[in-house]
Amino acid sequence: MPDTQHGDTTSPPALILALILALPLLPHILPNIMQECRLAMEQDQVDCIVLGCAGMADLCQAISRELGVPVIDGVSAAVTFAESMVRLGLCTSKRGEWNYPLPKLYR
């Protein structure tokens, strides 16, 4: 079980990979997805579910209605966030890892 008190809120990678690889079988794996969401709610006390694959976007409303928690399509959320950054005139920081590259010496 993830240690949510110390910032570990990730699901097991194998589970996520298995769900993504099984997307062509979506009608058959929906019960598995619902079960994993329920487990996350019960065991990890999550307040919302974020679906991390664009192929699951159509499931958000159905899962939310069934479980009574917000279900977020990660791709739509990321695009909306990027649009908001542009609208607000914001860009990435130019400090640390996002700083401009150092000048190159050409010989």
pLDDT digits 0-9 by tens, 35-85: 888 988 888 888 888 887 777 888 889 899 999 999 998 899 999 999 999
Residue 24 within any structural domain of the chain: yes
- Rounded Cα distance between 31 and 37, Å, is 10
Residue 105 within any structural domain of the chain: no
Residue 99 within any structural domain of the chain: no
The pTM for the full model equals: 0.61
pLDDT at 89 over 80: yes
Q: For residue 59, what are the domain limits?
A: 11-89
Residue 34 buriedness (CB in 10 A; 0-12 / 13-18 / 19+): middle
Residue 72 within any structural domain of the chain: yes
Give the model's pLDDT for residue 65. 94
Residue 49 within any structural domain of the chain: yes
* Mean pLDDT over each residue of the chain, to the nearest integer: 79
Residue 4 within any structural domain of the chain: no
Total domains in the chain come to 1
Confidence of residue 88 (pLDDT cuts 50, 70, 90): very high
Q: What is residue 73's DSSP assignment?
A: E
- Rounded Cα distance between 19 and 52, Å, is 10
Residue 74 within any structural domain of the chain: yes
Report residue 11 as tokens.
Answer: 């699901």
CB neighbours (10 Å) of residue 87?
8
Q: What is the DSSP string of 36-51?
A: HHHHHHHHH--S-EEE
Residue 97 within any structural domain of the chain: no
Q: What is residue 22's DSSP assignment?
A: T
